[in-house]
Amino acid sequence: MPHVICVRPIHEAAIEKMRSTEGVTVEILMDISPESLARNLPRADALIVRTIRIDRPFLAHCTNLRLLARHGVGYDAVDVPALTERGIPLTITPEANAVSVAEHALMLMLACARQLSGYDSNLRQAKPVWGGQANLPTFDLAGKTVLVVGFGRIGTRVAKLCAAFGMKVLVRDPNIGKGSIRGLGFTPVDDVMEAAAEADIVTIHCPSDASTRHMVNAPFLARMKKGAVFINTARGTLVDEAALDAALRAGHLGAAGIDVFHDEPVETAIPLLTAPNLIFTPHVAASTAEGLARMAMDAAEACLACFDGTLDPDIVVNKEVLAGRN
Sign of the dihedral defined by the CA atoms of residues 30, 32, 37, 39, in that order: negative
DSSP category for residue 216: B
SS3 of residue 102 by DSSP: helix
CA 258 to chain centre: 11
70, 235, 262, 294: which is the annotated catalytic residue? 235
Active-site residue 198, yes or no? no
Cβ count within 10 A of residue 124? 8
Would you call 280 helix, strand, or coil by DSSP? strand
264 is catalytic: yes
Active-site entry in 50, 252, 264, 325: 264
The closest alpha carbon to 45, from 310, 321, 305, 307, belongs to 307
CA distance linking residue 326 with residue 133, whole number of Å: 63
Number of continuous H segments (helices) and E segments (strands) in the chain = 12, 12
- Measure the CA dihedral 228/229/234/239, to 10°: 60
Contact (Cβ atoms closer than 8 angstroms) between residue 219 and residue 243: no
Q: Considering 70, 283, 294, 301, which one is annotated as catalytic? A: 283
- Is 249 marked active-site? no
Q: Which residues are annotated as catalytic?
A: 235, 264, 283
